[in-house]
Amino acid sequence: MAEQPWNRGLAFRRCLVSVLTLLGTLTYATADEPQDYRSRNFVVHTDLPKEDAEQLLEKMEVMLKMISRYWGAPLRKPVECYVVVDDSNWPPADLPAQARPIVQSGGITIAQGTRRGNVFNLTATVYASSKFGTAQHEAVHAYCYHTFGVTGPTWYAEGMAEMGNYWKEDDSSVTAPPYVIDFLKRSRSKPLSEITDNNQRTGDGWQNYAWRWALCHFLVNNPNYRDRFRQLGISYLKQGTTSFERAYASQLQELDFEFRLFMQHLGVGLNAESTAWNWKTRPRKPSTKRTMTTKVYAKRGWQATNAQLTQGQQYRFTTDGKWFISSEEEVGVEGNANGEGRLEAVLIENFQLSEPFELGSSGTFTAPGNGQLVLRCRDKWTQLNDNSGSISVKIQAGREVAGRDAAADVGVESR
């Protein structure tokens, strides 16, 4: 393989410019004269008040601990950060001219040094606004430059840097700010290929960052995809050749379905695990003689049963148990007065979901379509984390529908 020439000079990422125009100007108390603060892995120069500066260092250390654990590599050397409240507090010599306009509402990480393939010696410096978690975001880029020499393709670098901004210790649920979530909820859905397109440029607007964050958050936390995503990320950072499409080639349809489900229910508190789908349960058609039994957990999202239903066929079901829809509220499978805690169902066929329909504690119902029966405890998707308990559901075919021989269906594998 031909040797690459030594790459000397600058690499940089410029991020999150334009958030301010959306939110308007926020006022921050300022200590005026920039001061220096140090922690184990960061040196921060800032005009933030002392208490805020110390709090920022603490947050950055926690974030660094989490990303180092995630990528399985410690930071190689401390990162220097300039965190700016008001650039008029900064003498001309204290901020590079390139960074000055950017730190008013965004951030930039400038890496200097040498790199040849995987051999590098880079020093990254962060210049960031004190607002919107920009310093944490930029610190993720600086960690990647110091540890791997690169930050990866734009969608990955910026999505993971936003993860660094929102990451909370011991909490893997969604914690992005309301304006990010509102924007994503209002947007038309974006194809995976568009979010992961390699021809994107850094600093192209917070809306694109929001999509990259959403996909990274989903892939970091969904148990069906997270191991492969970690491998893909390490391959990006070690300059391997794996692409997103190649990494998930055998699962793209499933991944697309689950990502759309995640985006549909997106909100603060949503756990990406609750939108993970169980594709392994192979459904069969219940008959009047064969009873299908499934356990349904209150804490989880849609849960596949082993029953494949036929449109127009009547089914009987019974349930056993109670569950909690908060740390205190125990309810039966009928649910409370607001219908929370009630057993509800959908059918899935060819990656399409039917409209949800209610079941309750026992009774009969007619299948509204063909598909695998999927169940859950009805509760706000963003409030499943404090649920507990499970119920057992038994289902069998009811009386035969005219023109259809239910017994003939016994033993038929549907997928």
Residues near Zn ion (CB under 5 A) are: 13, 15, 158, 161
Handedness of CA 293, 279, 257, 412 (dihedral sign): negative
Rank residues 144 and 393 by Cβ distance to Zn ion and give the closer one: 144
Which of 33, 58, 63, 60 is CA-nearest to residue 48? 33
* Nearest to Zn ion of 141, 265 (CB atom): 141
Instruction: Compute the radius of gyration of the chain from its Cα atoms.
Output: 26
Smallest distance from Zn ion to CB 14, Å: 7
Give 94's DSSP letter. G
- By C-beta, is 207 or 414 nearer to Zn ion? 207
Locate the DSSP E strands across 199-355: 292-297, 303-309, 314-320, 323-324, 330-331, 343-349, 352-353
Question: Which is closer to Zn ion, CB of 163 or CB of 377?
Answer: 163
13/378 with CB nearer Zn ion = 13
* DSSP codes, 114-126: EEETTEEEEEEEE
**10 Å Cβ neighbour count for 316?**
17
Q: Which secondary structure element, helix H or strand E, spans residue 217, and what is its range?
A: helix 206-221
Residue nearest to Zn ion (CB): 15
The nearest distance, CB 16 to Zn ion, in angstroms, is: 7
Q: Which three-class secondary structure state does DSSP give residue 37?
A: strand
Q: Which is nearer to Zn ion, 44 or 296 (CB)?
A: 44
Q: For the CB of residue 136, give the shortest distance to Zn ion in the complex, in Å.
A: 11
With beta carbons less than 8 A apart as the criterion, state whether 47 and 103 touch: no
Residue 259 CB, nearest distance to Zn ion (Å)?
Answer: 22
CA distances from 86 to 30, 48, 134, 367 (A): 8, 9, 14, 63
Q: How far is the CB of 107 from Zn ion (least distance, A)?
A: 7
Is the Cβ of residue 158 or residue 273 nearer to Zn ion in the bound state? 158
To Zn ion, the closest distance from the beta carbon of 13 in angstroms equals 5
- Whole-number minimum distance, CB 205 to Zn ion, in Å? 12
User: How far from chain centre, in Å, is Cα 134?
Assistant: 19
Residue 104 CA to residue 106 CA, distance in Å, equals 6
